[in-house]
A and B are shown apart, each in its own frame.
Chain A
Amino acid sequence: MTVSSTNPADKQQGLVARGLREAFFAGLISLGMFSLYIGLKTDQNMRNELVLVTRWGLLATLVILAMIGRFLMIVVVQPRLAARKSAKATAAHGQAEVPGFVARNLTAIAVVALLLFPPVIVSLFGMQGSLKWIDNFGIQILIYVMLAWGLNIVVGLAGLLDLGYVAFYAVGAYSYALLSTYFGLSFWVLLPMAGILAAFWGVILGFPVLRLRGDYLAVVTLAFGEIIRLVLINWVEVTKGTFGVSGIAKASVFGIWSFDVSAPNNFAKAFDLPMSSAYYKIFLFYVILALCAVTAYVSIRLRSMPIGRAWEALREDEIACRSLGINTVTTKLTAFATGAMFGGFAGAFFGARQGFVSPESFVFLESAVILAIVVLGGMGSLVGIAIAAVVMVGGTELLRELTFLKAIFGPDFTPELYRMLIFGLAMVTVMVLKPRGFVGSRQPTAFLHERKAVSGSFTKEGHG
């Protein structure tokens, strides 16, 4: 037996047989599970009676899909993963691999690509056609990148699990919405103010949870997020409750040009351009890009400063931190405040972009999505988080584009409704393949002499 298994052709055959067997079982299990859920459906007929509708075709499709998936998993995916793992194990003992050109200049390439994104899109799709790409994809993804980078300071660096991050996003958005509506202050005055107010609320949240860690902390932050949302709903005189605040002023180009159609210094009028809402979106794209750049810069700088190092040490061992003279109270509070501040900035931007805010935008699901992006990206890694945001937010936006799916699943199939399902699937997949997220390794910040290439040993678990 052992002799035959060394023959590659035999091995392949055995694998296929195993794949077929497993696929058969997967089919049986999914048949058992789906018969009632999918095969049968209750409906009302013309006389308002409950009738059973059978959907055997759909059931068959799903069972076959499950079987194919299991087969491919056994025959293709698993051997490939195993091969990669063993290749990595042998490589880990060799010298650290030299990163390629793209990897070395990743930041520069990304910045240039992002700067060129609006002009390229406009030239490809025209002014009006560019709106969708710049707004739905570009701005939307960058908002999540910024939120996730902000949350990363709290969760990724300081290790404080925060499930209510969206509260600070809400504080920022409502700060801008209310202060601009009631006092007529401009975006550029309110942007820092929104950040400061959110940071203030970060400290307020920080105080009661100082002694909590892990799951307890998560529960309290979750409650905090809900409290903020409920206040926004119920404080009707100020926030207009569930109706939300509408007609929020647009941001201007530092007060020089405005994007209000009626304003004398309208951007399009000033340059004798045809009227279009695309200019505002393009402007917003660059604003959020700049905000993201600031977030990244501050995160990177802080990490190599004493406070950033204290955050990371706090994540590792709170007791050890205290015994080294670190004030864990202020360290935690600054982490909460800094993370919240970026949430506040993003919120103010969100208000200016939408022109409308309501409590509906700040539900728990948003916190979960932002946290998912941080975890998928590999806690602490800015690049990984950006990739995760592109995949998750961009991917779910793309669903709207997949009209051909209607041809398969029928005309009333709306792919957007499956957004969360696919989000979850993607998350499980990433976590199975890369348990530490897209970029699981952590870049050290302290070097004595020369900066050594980071070898695989940083990412592997210890063997004590």
Chain B
Amino acid sequence: MTQPLLQVENAETYYGNIRALSGVDIEVQKGEIVCLIGANGAGKSTLMMTICGAQPARSGRILFEGNDITRMPTHLIARLRIAQSPEGRRIFQRMTVTENLQMGASLDNQAHFKEDVEKMFTLFPRLKERQHQRAGTLSGGEQQMLSIARALMARPKLLLLDEPSLGLAPLIIKQIFEAIRVLNKETALTVFLVEQNAFAALKLSHRGYVMVNGKVTMSGPSKELLANPEIRAAYLEGGHH
């Protein structure tokens, strides 16, 4: 088996004395879309922060391309080309759409700036229409698109997405997930996706993990998880989109 792009080994993360992650193991291979589903408060965002160094693991290891990044500062991890669209999108509200994209490209020294912006505009045509607009005045869906596009501007090897569907209309969710699918297919972009919207996430991804109370309780190919009666009962029934 080839070396995974990202490995989370037995990670334990604490907020003070409260343990939010207990012994989490996750692997993401190059070119895969992997999702992590779980209820609100399960520890999904905590895992994201642990991977990108914002809330480092107290024990266990995070490996990226085989290198230990467990205690690296966030900005250095980002420079390894792990880009993320964090929880809450965190776009730069007072800056224009173009300026936001420019901030995303700051690692690339602006060399491919124009070319990459055009790619983003093809991926999300709504952003092109609004390129001169202040990002804070965008709709929720457009802000999410901008957040993803800004992350992509760094030409990432791994894209981390924390609940991109949160608070969006089903049609917009569909557009965004379709864009991720296209990206993965055409550029072999590796994506690690965290979602409460289990149905949409499992449909999009190749493999999935289920997290409950800071522990991974199940994992496997997304198709199997989708068919699993336990998961259907816990995450899918009544919540169809």
Contact = CB atoms under 8 A, between A and B. Distances in A.
Contacts of A401: none
A325 B99 contact: no
A445 interface: yes
Nearest to B110: A306
B150 A457 contact: no
B165 interface: no
A322 B183 CA distance: 24
A448 B75 CA distance: 27
B79 interface: yes
B108 to A, nearest CB: 10
A320 B137 CA distance: 18
Contact of A320 (B86, B117, B154): B86
Contact of B99 (A309, A321, A462): A309
Interface residues of B, number: 40
A323 B150 CA distance: 11
Contacts of B90: 317, 319-320, 323
A313 B95 contact: yes
Contacts of B26: none
B78 A324 contact: yes
A461 B133 CA distance: 12
B33 interface: no
Contact of B92 (A320, A322, A455): A320
Interface in A175-199: none
Contacts of A447: 98
Given A310-B106, A320-B92, A462-B138, A325 B78 contact: yes
Contact of A313 (B103, B107, B143): B103
Nearest to B118: A448
Interface in B68-125: 73-76, 78-79, 83-84, 86, 90-96, 98-99, 101-104, 106-107, 114, 117
Contacts of B86: 319-320, 323
A328 B54 CA distance: 13
Interface string A241-272: 00000000000000000000000000000000
Contacts of A444: 95-96, 98-99, 132
Nearest to B133: A457
Interface in A435-464: 442, 444-448, 452, 455, 457-458, 460-464
A324 B98 contact: no
Q: How large is the interface on A (under 10, 10 to 19, 20 to 34, 35 or more residues)?
A: 20 to 34
Nearest to A310: B106
B37 to A, nearest CB: 22
Given A325-B106, A444-B96, A444-B132, A462 B137 contact: yes
A354 interface: no
A328 B95 contact: no
A324 B107 CA distance: 8
Which of A317, A442, A463 is packed against the most chain B CB atoms within 10 Å?
A: A317
24 contacts: A309-B106, A310-B103, A312-B95, A316-B94, A316-B95, A319-B54, A319-B90, A320-B90, A322-B78, A323-B74, A323-B90, A324-B103, A324-B104, A325-B78, A325-B79, A325-B106, A445-B99, A446-B99, A448-B114, A457-B134, A457-B137, A461-B136, A462-B136, A462-B138
Interface of A: 306, 309-310, 312-313, 315-317, 319-328, 442, 444-448, 452, 455, 457-458, 460-464
The 10 A-B pairs at the shortest CB distance, nearest first, are namely: A325-B78, A320-B90, A316-B92, A462-B136, A322-B74, A462-B137, A446-B99, A444-B96, A446-B102, A325-B79
